[in-house]
């Protein structure tokens, strides 16, 4: 298909790790991105990974890329209430960025 | 402060009444883009512009127009709005093209309701 796919909802207990998964379609995508959208706000670039990398870590965030399966994941360690948001996976395709539908992360107390 | 501004933030209008949503960035960015966000559909690109006087259709351009007469401004024009254009609209900009690692800055959004 043409879409970037991700599950729509994820619930995680505060303090646990959150793992948000995404599959993309274009094997020639140069960059893959994770954006965060907090309630009532625009999108904010969280992190990105270049297509020749397998993993990227940035503080509590770990991005894993499996090019063979076209699978991207975002792991948030020690999930906090401030992590409650919608997370968008996106891939670069020609001159565009194609977004997934977003995963709403809900934090349980 | 580096930012993308959009106006208005909220707009309720009626079918057929032309409207313009303005977008302005103060970062001297070359690339600007408009997206609409709908429940269950995520973000879809409407139009984008690689530079002044250069605009291209995104995935859902029908019913919209844009212009890029100056680098900082990228207005979105709805000549004859219809209810299916009720949505949340985001403007975004980045220094280079969308495929670079440069951060794409998003505006705060414009919530449009067409009755």
Chain A with chain B: Cβ pairs closer than 8 A: 56
Cβ contact B76:B88 at 8 Å:
no
Residue range A49-68, pLDDT digits in tens: 888 889 999 999 999 999 99
- Whether the upstream peptide bond of residue A31 has omega within 30° of 0, thus cis, is no
Q: B49: burial class by Cβ within 10 Å (0-12, 13-18, 19+)?
A: buried
Quick check: A44 contacting B, CB < 8 Å? yes
* Exposed/middle/buried for residue B61 (C-beta within 10 Å: 0-12, 13-18, 19+): middle
Residue A95 CB coordination number (10 Å)? 14
B109 at interface of A, judged by CB pairs closer than 8 A:
yes
Residue A74 Cα, gap to closest chain B Cα (Å): 18
Question: Which residues of chain B carry a pLDDT beneath 70?
Answer: 97-102
pLDDT-derived band of residue A88, with 50, 70 and 90 as boundaries? very high
Q: Is the pLDDT of residue A73 over 70?
A: yes
Pairing verdict, β A18-23 and A5-6: antiparallel
Residues of B in contact with A95 (CB under 8 A): 48, 50, 56, 97-99
Closest C-alpha to A31, from A1, A72, A62, A77:
A72
Find residue B59's DSSP bridge partners.
none
- Contact between B31 and B90 under an 8 Å Cβ cutoff? The reply is no
**Phi and psi dihedrals of A65, rounded to 5?**
-125, 125
CB B60 within 8 A of CB B41: no
A6 has pLDDT over 90? yes
**Residue A1's pLDDT is what?**
46
Residue with tokens 């670069």: A92
Whole-number Å distance between alpha carbons of A93 and A31: 9
Q: Once rounded to an integer, what is the mean pLDDT over residues A76-102?
A: 89
Mean pLDDT of chain B: 91
From CA B40, how far away is CA A67, in angstroms rounded? Answer: 26
């Amino acid at each position: 298909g043409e879409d970037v796919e991700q599950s729509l909802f994820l619930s995680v207990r505060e303090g646990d790790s959150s793992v948000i998964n995404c599959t993309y379609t274009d094997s020639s995508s140069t960059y893959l991105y994770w954006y965060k959208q907090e309630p009532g706000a625009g999108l904010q670039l969280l992190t990105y990974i270049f297509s020749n990398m397998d993993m990227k870590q940035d503080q509590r965030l770990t991005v894993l890329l499996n090019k063979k399966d076209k699978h991207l994941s975002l792991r948030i360690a020690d999930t906090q209430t401030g992590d409650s948001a919608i997370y968008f996976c996106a891939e670069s395709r020609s001159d565009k960025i194609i977004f997934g539908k977003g995963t709403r992360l809900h934090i349980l107390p | 402060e580096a930012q993308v501004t959009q106006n208005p933030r909220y707009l309720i209008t009626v079918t057929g009444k032309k409207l313009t949503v303005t977008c302005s960035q103060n970062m001297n960015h070359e690339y600007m883009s408009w997206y609409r966000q709908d429940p269950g559909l995520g973000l879809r690109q409407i139009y984008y512009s690689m530079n002044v006087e250069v605009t291209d259709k995104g995935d859902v351009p029908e019913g919209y127009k844009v212009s890029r007469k100056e680098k900082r401004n990228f207005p979105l024009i709805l000549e004859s709005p219809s209810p299916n254009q009720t949505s949340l609209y985001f403007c975004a900009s980045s220094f280079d093209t969308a495929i670079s690692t440069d951060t794409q800055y998003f505006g705060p959004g414009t919530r449009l309701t067409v009755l």
